[in-house]
A = this chain, B = another copy of it.
Amino acid sequence: MNARPVSRVLGTEQFSLRYEVVDSDEAAVRSIVESTGFFHDYEVDIAVELVQERLRRGDASGYYFAIVEQGGSPVAYSCYGPIACTADSYDVFWIAVRKSHQRHGLGRWLMELTEKLISAAGGRRIYVETSGRPDYLPTRNFYERCCYHKAAELPDFYAEGDAKVIYVKVLARE
Contacts and interface: CB of A to CB of B under 8 A. Distances in A.
A153 interface: yes
A152 interface: yes
A29 to B, nearest CB: 16
A43 B157 contact: no
Q: Is the interface of A mostly helix, strand, loop or mixed?
A: strand
A46 B83 CA distance: 12
Interface size class of A (residues with CB under 8 A): 20 to 34
Interface stretch (A115-123, A139-147, A158-166): A158-166
A159 B87 contact: yes
Interface in A74-94: 83-89
A125 interface: yes
A84 B39 CA distance: 14
A86 B158 contact: yes
Max chain B Cβ within 10 angstroms of own Cβ: one of A46, A86, A170: A86
A43 B154 contact: no
A20 interface: no
Given A86-B158, A87-B158, A87-B159, 8 more contacts: A40-B85, A42-B85, A85-B158, A86-B159, A87-B162, A125-B156, A125-B157, A154-B168
